[in-house]
Amino acid sequence: MVRIGELPTRLLALRYGADLVWGPEIVDKALVSGEKAQRVVNDHCQTIDFVKPPSNKVIFRLHPLEKGRLIFQLGSCNPELAVEAAKLVVNDVSAIDLNCGCPKHFSVHAGMGAGLLKNLDRLESILRALVEQVGQPNNIGISCKIRLLDTHEATLDMVRRLCKTGIRAITVHCRTTPMRNTEPAIRTSLRDIAEICHSYHVSILVNGDVDNRKMAKELCEEYGVDGAVIARAAEKNVSCFREEGLLPIQQVVKDYVKMCLEVDNNFGNTKYCLIQWMQGNFPKDIRQRAQVAKSYGQLLECFDLSWDRSSESQTVQSQKSKNYALFLSLYKNDNFLSTLCDENLLNLLSKNDCTKVIIHLNADTLSDTQEKAVQRLRKRGIRIELVDALHPLDAIISKANVVVCSSACESILAEADRKKKPVVKVFTRTTNSEEEKENSNALIADETPVIDQLRSCFEKNL
């Protein structure tokens, strides 16, 4: 949902019991037109930000708490742009969901959202491209959200076509495109849609007039669907996901303000959401003070709240992300810094929250090639720490989660063993010809590709 689907509301939804959360619809061009959005690790907020140069405006922000539960909602009418945008975020989200249900004029007019339901050939081409070029290579689900068509049979035919694209899930908003949200949802086709989806091993979620968790469970049982998506009810009170029922909106508002401070949410967005929730639920004087507030400090005063970043664990109620650090020795291993910038290795580092690489220098300075590799790592939001032979190995290796070094580095291997750090040993083959030297980046680790060794380290939850 636009505006209401930003990070603070998603985190609250998860706290209150949501199993999955969707981000706001992000149009592909917002990420890839002009200079592409950059992935940045935000140490201040403990978030991952996708920012757009040169203004560095935050397009999308996510939190480690959402790992395994965040669906990225993509707006697109072009297969190539959809794939390009999805590849930017694929390592930080759990699935990519193509929005084919938004009825707003700006979306339909551009051929996106519900506009795609009028051009099923284009819709199929986008989904197939996402499945084949993003979903399958990264083992991540591709899904879509649709609305009903004018007739029962037309809807079922559409669902069959979409299921054949290889998607893993479909969310069905049980209204047609022209219907307003105030009109009752139509569920007469839902059971038949569910049967078709399940015949293709595609999950189906129902949306439209789902008010709370209890109702969601009842709909799943009645229509044989796999889950339910709550939208408008969450806009009114995000605690609708609680098993125990709704919290007073006054409590939700206070939780929300603190969460917004915790993740440094855009102040304008915070005020917008607050004002929606406060209508009819707060005294007029408090609503007026909130409406004219120009800072978070003034909002805290409105609700008689105090907040201190040192109490963040109380606000977010989560463990910190692991923020892995990689120790990389260049001793007898000069080429590996460039090898580390292979796209697959970079994606692996990003996906596993590797936010720092400690580079153990083999010379006084980096070569031009190594400097370019460092810049590429930094563009991925990975911090770089350069250390030389004067730095004590025990202190350096203590800060790392994984040690990568040449098999000839006996002192480093011994220290890593004492510190019980996982080690990836890089073997370089003896090269004779110039051609072999140029290809010497094809390094192996214990006769297994380095990427597989690193993946194994991350999977062991170091």
Residues with catalytic roles = 102
- If you search the block for the tokens 């220098």, which residue do you land on? 361
Query: Which phi and psi (to 5°) does residue 401 adopt?
Result: -95, -30
Burial of 263 (0-12, 13-18, 19+ CB in 10 A): buried
- Counted residue by residue, the chain has a size of 462
The structure tokens listed for 368 are 């031009």
Q: Measured between alpha carbons, how far is 148 from 190 in angstroms, rounded to an integer?
A: 10
**Cβ-proximal residues to 322 (8 Å cutoff; 6+ apart), any chain:** 352, 353, 401, 461, 462
Side chain identity, residue 458: F
The number of beta carbons lying within 10 Å of the beta carbon of residue 242 is: 17
